[in-house]
Each structure stands twice: as C-alpha cells, then as structure tokens.
Amino acid sequence: MTNEQRIKNLTVPTGPVDVVLDTDAYNEIDDQFAITYLLSCKEKLNTKALYAAPFLNNISTSAEDGMEQSYNEIIKLLNFMNEKCEVYRGSNAFLSDEKTPVVSDAARDLSERAKKYSPENPLYVIAIGAITNVASAILLNPEVAENCVVIWLGGHAFHYPHTKEFNMMQDVAAARVVMGSGVPLVLLPCRGVVSSFTISRPELEYWLKDKSPIADYLASHSIEVAEKYASDTAWTRCIWDVTAVAWLMNDNDGFMEDRFEKLRLPNYDDIYEEADGPDIKYVYHIKRDFLMTDLIKRILER
C-alpha cells in the first residue's frame, strides 16, 4: 500500500462503504447503542456482518461465555429493530501468543471476506471489544491488513499513565498483532478522550423511554445497569462504542477531531512503547452534544 493510499484510507470516506462490526455486545450498555446507530446509518454504512467478541468479567464465566452472551444479545437487538444481518460467533478464548490465531466463525469470515476488497476499495472493520477476532483473521490471512481499515475503541489516551483499559488489557497479544500489522488504523482512546461521551438518567428518560421498542430497551437497560452501581448518585454512563461507528459518519469533523500520530504498541507491562510502523489516525476530541443529538435522532426515527 502506498503512503498516499494509506492517508486516503485514514480519511473519513465520502460515499457508501461496506462495514463489519466486532462487538462484545453483552458486556456493557454501550454496544447496544453502537449497533443501533450503525444500523440506522444505512445511507452511508452497508453492514455486511456482525461478529460476537469474547469478554471476561463479573457477568461472564469465561471468554467463551462472554462471546456467547454477546452473540445472543446481537440477535435480540436485531429482533427489536426488525433487522436482518449475518451474525457470527467469535473466539472462545484470547490469544495465547502473537502468532497463533483463535479460529472461529468470525475470524474465518473476516479472513475470507477481506479477499473481496483492496486498498483502493477497503472493508471497514469497526471493533468495540477485545480485538481477538480481528487479530486472528489477520494471522489467518495477512491480506486483511492490506484490504481493510480497522477502527478500534481501545486503550487510553497516549498521555494517560497506563494502558489498563478493558478492551486492550483483555488481549494485549491481539492488540499488538493488529496494531503492528500495518493495517490502516483509527484509534479511539477511552479515558482521556471518549470518556466525555456520556448520557444521564434524565436524558434517557426524556428522549428514549417509551418511544419505541428499541428506544425503550436502550433506556430501560441502561438505567437498570447503572442503578446497580450508582442508585444514590447523580450518575452518567459512558456509551463509548458509539464513537467508533461515528468516525465513519464524521463528515467535516462534525462529531470528533483526529490527527495522525506515530504508532505506539501496548506492552505486557501496561504502558505504550514506541514502535516502527506507519502512522495511525488518532481521535483526540469528541464533540459530545453534536454526536448525541444525531444518535438520539436516529434512534427515534427507527
């Protein structure tokens, strides 16, 4: 890939593009918003497939269980919206090293699907969970790094003192594979950047409650989850993952601002290290109110 083509691929596309989404949909409340937003942007984003990503925390018993719950949550959301899309189960474990893929339906599909694209006509891969499936696809077929653009919500801002962010620390090996592969990469850091994209209970109740099946589900589910942890505070919840989808809708920098940055890789000691490789596109500011307005508008139009 020429440097000129890489710069073009790391610029927000102007026309309709093909997209796949890799999501740990059951992990938090934000993936549900991101999937709804993605499927509400049909004028520009042609969603070809949804991949269930693994996760492990207090609501899953294993990475495989997290992936399976995410797969089921994707199906539930599609039913709420009366949408149809190809859905694939992803990895049942995280990478054991930086050379061995975790073979899954999702990784196989992406490794094969990428062959239909080229640097001049790339497939856009939006990743909003541990990036195991995408890393495995690259290890199965290095053409993925040539024929795709990866937009990943992962890690913290480069000025942050560590990289202990959920998506990144779940599978550091996978993050290093993807970020070190040379794939055109858009990175949306969590704390320090995307952490500004929050929504509150009054907003959920005012804008979404009882407005439609999907709007009510998003509001009710978000409130239910938040109240388990913060019932006696004036809480907001970050709906981080929407921003990764929104980068593709960021015409004229309407929703966020980005810049080219030197590549940095997370190491196994939870800090970034300088690395050789092409520059990445780094999102450094979210225009919260403008993006939130578009998100709510599209949810209410469903």
Q: Are residues 100 and 81 in the same domain?
A: yes
pLDDT of 47 strictly over 90: yes
- Can you tell me whether residue 278 is helix, strand or coil? coil
Same domain, 44 and 81: yes
Give the mean model confidence (pLDDT) for residues 100-104: 98
CB atoms within 10 A of CB 186: 23
Q: Is the pLDDT of residue 99 over 90?
A: yes
Strand 280-286 and strand 256-261: the pairing is antiparallel
- pLDDT-based confidence at residue 234 (cuts at 50, 70, 90): confident
Average pLDDT, the chain: 96
Let me know if residue 20 belongs to a domain.
yes
What's the N-to-C CA distance of the chain in angstroms? Answer: 39
- Extract the tokens encoding 118: 């080229």
Residues 100, 55 share a domain = yes
CA 107 – CA 112 distance, rounded (Å): 9
Query: What burial letters (b/e) apply to 199-231, b meaning 16+ CB within 10 Å?
Result: bebeebeebbeebeebbebbbeebbeebeeeee
Mention every residue, 6+ apart, whose C-beta is less than 8 A from residue 64: 54, 92, 93
pTM above 0.95, yes or no: yes
Say what the pLDDT of residue 302 is: 86
Same domain, 211 and 257: no
The DSSP line for 195-250 is: GG-EEEHHHIIIIITTTSHHHHHHHHHHHHHHHHHHTTS--EEE-TTHHHHHGGG-
pLDDT band for position 32 (cuts 50, 70, 90): very high
Identify the pLDDT of residue 96: 98
192 and 219 housed in the same domain? no
Bigger pLDDT: 230 vs 138: 138
pLDDT value for 67: 98
In this structure, the chain runs to a length of 302
Q: Which pLDDT belongs to residue 15?
A: 87
Q: Judge whether 193 and 283 are in contact, CB under 8 Å.
A: yes
A 10 A CB-CB count for 185 gives 26
Task: Report the percent of the chain where pLDDT is more than 90.
Answer: 95
Residue-wise pLDDT for 241-291, tens only, equals: 999 999 999 999 999 999 999 999 999 999 999 999 999 999 999 999 999
**Domain CATH for 183:** 3.90.245.10
Predicted confidence band of residue 233 (pLDDT cuts 50, 70, 90):
confident
Q: How confident is the model at residue 227 (pLDDT cuts 50, 70, 90)?
A: confident
Whether 17 and 122 map to the same domain: the answer is yes
Q: Following CA atoms 241, 247, 251, 253 in sequence, which dihedral angle do they give, to the nearest 10 degrees?
A: 90
- 150 and 18 in a common domain: yes
Q: Looking at the domain assignment, is residue 296 inside a domain?
A: no
Q: What is the mean pLDDT of residues 137-162?
A: 98
Q: Residue 81 pLDDT > 90, yes or no?
A: yes
Please give the residue range of the domain that contains residue 157. 3-197+239-287
21 and 59 together in one domain: yes
What residues contact residue 189 under an 8 Å CB cut-off, 6+ apart?
A: 154, 155, 156, 157, 158, 160, 165, 282, 283
- Judge whether 293 lies within some domain: no
Confidence band (pLDDT; 50, 70, 90) for 229?
Answer: confident
The pLDDT value given to residue 25: 97
Q: Does residue 145 sit in the same domain as residue 7?
A: yes
Q: What is the C-alpha to C-alpha distance for residues 182 and 148, in angstroms, rounded to an integer?
A: 10
Q: What region does 95 belong to: left with phi over 0, alpha with psi -120 to 50, or beta? A: beta
Domain annotation covers residue 298: no
Instruction: Tell me how many domains the chain contains.
Output: 2
Say yes or no: 174 and 203 in one domain: no
Interior angle at CA 167, CA 162 and CA 171, nearest 5: 90
Is 64 in the same domain as 156? yes
Is there a single domain that holds both residue 102 and residue 151? yes
- Averaged pLDDT for residues 116-128: 98
For residue 186, what pLDDT is reported?
98
- Residue 74 belongs to some domain of the structure: yes
Does residue 107 surpass a pLDDT of 90?
A: yes
3-class SS letters over 80-99: HHCCCCEEECCCCCCCCCCC
CA dihedral 106, 112, 117, 118 (to 10 degrees): 110
